Amino acid sequence: MTKRLPVVIAGAGPTGLMCALALRKQDIPVVLCEAESDLTHDLRAGAFHPPTLEMMAPYGITEQMLVDGIKVRYWQIRNKPGDLIAEFDLGLLADVTPFPHRLHLEQHRLTPIQLDILRNEGGADIRFNCKITGYTQNADGVAVTVERGGAVETIAASWLIGADGGRSAVRKATGIEFEGFTWPETFVVASTTHDFGEQGFAYNCYIADPTEFGALFKLPHDGPPGLWRLAYPANPDESDEALLEAPRVEAALQRLVQKPGPYDVVYKSTYRVHQRVTASFVAGRVLLAGDAAHLNNPLGGFGLNSGIHDAVNLCDKLGRHWRGESGGLLDLYSRQRRAATVEQVQAMSIRNKRMMEERDPEVQRARLKELIAVAADPAKAREHMLSTSMISGLKRANEIQ
C-alpha cells in the first residue's frame, strides 16, 4: 500500500494544535511547523463559549481547562456610570449544552494542554523553530519549503493548513484577498489584581461609553485571587510607550472605578484591531483557518473560539475526503466557515463595538435599556444568548450545503 503524504500545519497556536489533534485522532499523519522556538505567550484571548468547550471535550482538553479555568455563568453590558446594567444568565441554556457558561482561561494556558495531549498520543511530527517560507502545489500534493536551524528543506505534503495567525505567510502566498478594514483605535490592555467584583461587576463585562468603551473580564492567572483584564481604546497617533505610561494606565482604571490608592497593574500592552475575512478559506490543496482566515475586534470573545470551530469543521471534512469521500467537502468547509465568520463573528463584533462606542449618550442609553428589557425576559434572553454564545450561528452555518 502506498504511503500517504502528511498534512503540514503552519502554526502551533490554538487553531493549529486543534487541527493536529483532530487529524491525529483520525490517524492522519501530521507535520506541525511553528516558526517560534516555543509556544507563544498571548495575553489577549481567554474566554471560551459553550460550543467551543463541547468541541474540545472529546480530546480531554476541556476537562483539563476546567481545573484552573473560571466558570462564568453571568455576563453584563453596562454603562460607565454603572446606572444601567443588562445582566445575562447562561444557565438558561442548560438544556442545549453541557456547558451553560463561559470559561475563562488564558490562551497561553490552553496551548500547553493541547500540545501535551498531542505529544502523549504520539504520531505527530512537531517542529519548533521551523518557518514555512513558501510552497508549490499541483493536483497531487504540496511541496512546502521550510527554514529550520539555518537550513532549508522541502516537505512533501498532501495538504497544507495555514493556521499561522493574522500575518499568515501561507495566506499571503495564496494571493487570496484579505477583505475588510482596520479600526482606527489602538487598544490598551491592562491587568490588575483589584477585585472589580466588589463593585458589582460580573466576571465578563462590556462597558459602553461615548469616549472610552471597553471590555473587562476576570482570568485565573496563577491562582486565586486571579487578575482582572481591562481592554480600552486609545489614540493611535500616540506611541505605545506613551499609552503604557503608568500614570496613563492608572487614570484609565480610575475612570472605570475610582478608588483610594493606585491600582496594582501586573501586565499592560497594546494592539491594533482588524475586521477581515479571506475571500475563500481554500486555495487548491492549501487550507486556511483561524486568524489566518479572519480577524475581528475583541468585543464578544469570538476570535479564538471561531478558530477552534474552523479547525474542527475543517479536519472532519479533510478526514472524510482522506478516506475517499467527495473532494467537494473542502469547498463546503469554506462556505460554512466563511458564512459563520461573516454573518456571526464579524456582524456581532462590529455591532457590539458600535453600540459600546455610540457617541450620542441618549441613543446609547436607549439601546442599553432595550438590552435590559431583553435580559429581563427569559425567552428573549435565551434567544440573545443562543446568538451571543455562538450556538445559533454555528447551527445555521453547519446547515449550509
Give the 3-state DSSP-derived string for 316-361, with helices as H, strands as E and coil as C. Answer: HHHHHHHCCCCCHHHHHHHHHHHHHHHHHHHHHHHHHHHHHCCCCH
pLDDT of residue 208: 87
What is the C-alpha separation between 384 and 76, in angstroms, rounded? 13
Contacts 24+ apart (CB under 8 A), 129-133: 129/34, 129/35, 129/36, 129/37, 130/33, 130/34, 130/35, 131/33, 131/35, 131/169, 132/8, 132/10, 132/33, 132/35, 132/160, 132/164, 132/169, 132/170, 133/169
Write out the three cell numbers for 34: 511553528
Please tell me the predicted confidence (pLDDT) of residue 88. Answer: 95
d(CA 209, CA 213): 5
Rounded to 10°, the helix 378-388/391-398 angle is 60
Do the bridges between strand 178-192 and strand 159-162 make them parallel or antiparallel, or are there none, so unpaired? unpaired
H-assigned helices in 69-225: 107-121, 169-174
Q: What residue spans of 107-168 are helical by DSSP H?
A: 107-121
Alpha-carbon gap, residue 114 to 50, rounded angstroms: 18
Per-residue model confidence (pLDDT) at position 358: 73
* Ordered domains of the chain (ranges, CATH): 7-69+106-179+275-355 (3.50.50.60)
What pLDDT, on a 0 to 100 scale, did the predictor assign at position 82? 85
**pTM of structure:** 0.94
Taking residue 3's Cβ as centre, other Cβ atoms within 10 Å add up to 6
In the chain, which stretches have pLDDT less than 50? 1
Nearest residue to 105 (alpha-carbon basis) of 6, 207, 229: 229
Alpha helix ranges (H) inside 154-264: 169-174, 240-243, 246-256
Q: Which helix (H) or strand (E) covers residue 204, if one does?
A: strand 204-208
Residues 24, 178 contacting (CB under 8 angstroms): no
Residues 6+ apart with CB under 8 A from 245: none
Q: How many CB atoms within 10 Å of residue 134?
A: 14
Instruction: Quote the pLDDT of residue 300.
Output: 63
Task: Please state, in angstroms and rounded to a whole number, the distance separating the CA atoms of residues 178 and 279.
Answer: 7
- Which residues on adjacent β-strands are paired with residue 149? none
CB-count exposure of residue 106 (10 Å: 0-12, 13-18, 19+): buried
Q: Which amino acid is at 251?
A: A
What's the rounded Cα separation, in Å, for the pair 358 and 336?
32
Is 396 exposed, middle or buried (CB count within 10 Å of its CB: 0-12, 13-18, 19+)?
A: middle
**Quick one: which H or E segment has residue 303?**
helix 303-322
CB count in 10 Å sphere of residue 306: 29
pLDDT at 343: 78
Task: Please tell me the predicted confidence (pLDDT) of residue 1.
Answer: 40
In whole angstroms, what separates CA 345 from the centre of its chain?
A: 10
Q: What is the DSSP letter of 281?
A: S
pLDDT the model gives residue 62: 98
Q: What's the confidence (pLDDT) of residue 2?
A: 58
pLDDT in tens, 347-363: 666 667 777 677 788 88
Structure confidence at residue 185 (pLDDT): 80
d(CA 72, CA 65) in angstroms, rounded, equals 13
